[in-house]
Structure 1
Amino acid sequence: MNAISRMDTTARMSKVVIHHDTLYLCGQVADSSDAAIGPQTADMLAKVDALLEKAGSGRDQILSATIYLRDMKDFDGMNAVWDAWIPQGHAPARACVEARLARPELLVEVSIVAARQG
């Protein structure tokens, strides 16, 4: 039996890969790429919420997050939205790095690993 399943798969990638009870979300960015860091972060995290729910998980099940910022000057603005979004007492392991993103108007991207709700 194959313990790996995939959701919303294209030739290039899957939005979610599930291995046993662990979920791996592809990198999420905002749809509102002309917005400032706060709205982009909120939009991006709403997409994470939708994928987690679709896969049977939630914010309180996030194990790890890697956040990519186009410019570290946006660290505080991103964290203001992130801190309000993460349930108190459920902060995941996290890394935040500065990186060039796929399009110049994108300011933030996140990659998430989460557990399925049991």
Structure 2
Amino acid sequence: MITRKEVNERMSRIVEYNNTVYLAGIVSDDKTLDIKGQAQRVFEIAEQRLKEIGSNKDCILRAEIFVKDIYRDFSAFNEAWDFWVSKENPPARACVEANMASAETLVEIIFTAVKVK
């Protein structure tokens, strides 16, 4: 059975299937922040969504990271990531440069996780 949460006509922000949780791309709700600030907001939003479905950051399997300017922001993003990510259970990850839906968005992350039993 597939469970969808925070659904609108375009997408579901959370999809759960067979104990695996797929989060739609998350961006900061405060676009005035620098890359570290936007990354921190993304992490906070991700933790809220994971908690909502009975998971947490230790259960993240994969992170797909999109950075607007990888040459300018990769190092600073990694500082924020390294501070936040589970040291005992780091996920598989990819980080690439990408154009964003808004000029002010500096980072977007897609997470896949498992539910805590």
Q: What residue in structure 2 maps to residue 92 of structure 1?
A: 91
Instruction: Report the residue type matching 2:77 in the other structure.
Output: M
TM-score by length of 1: 0.96
Q: CA RMSD in A?
A: 0.6
In structure 2, distance between residues paired with 1:54 and 1:46: 12
Distance apart, 1:62 and its partner CA: 0.2
Instruction: Report the residue type matching 2:87 in the other structure.
Output: Q
Q: What residue in structure 2 maps to residue 50 of structure 1?
A: 48
Q: What residue in structure 2 maps to residue 115 of structure 1?
A: 114
Distance apart, 1:34 and its partner CA: 1.3
In structure 2, distance between residues paired with 1:76 and 1:91: 18
Q: Secondary structure at the match of 1:18?
A: strand
Residue by residue over 1:32-65, the C-alpha shift from the partner in whole angstroms, topping out at 9 and shown as x without a partner, is 1111101010011100000000011000000000
Flag as ranges the 4+ runs of structure 1 deviating above 6 A.
none
TM-score by length of 2: 0.97
Find 2:12's aligned residue among 6, 11, 14: 14
Give the unaligned 5+ runs of structure 2. none
Q: What residue in structure 2 maps to residue 38 of structure 1?
A: 36
In structure 1, distance between residues paired with 2:115 and 2:78: 25
Q: Secondary structure at the match of 1:84?
A: helix
Report how many residues are paired.
116
**Correspondence 1:71 to 2:73:** no
Distance apart, 1:86 and its partner CA: 1.0
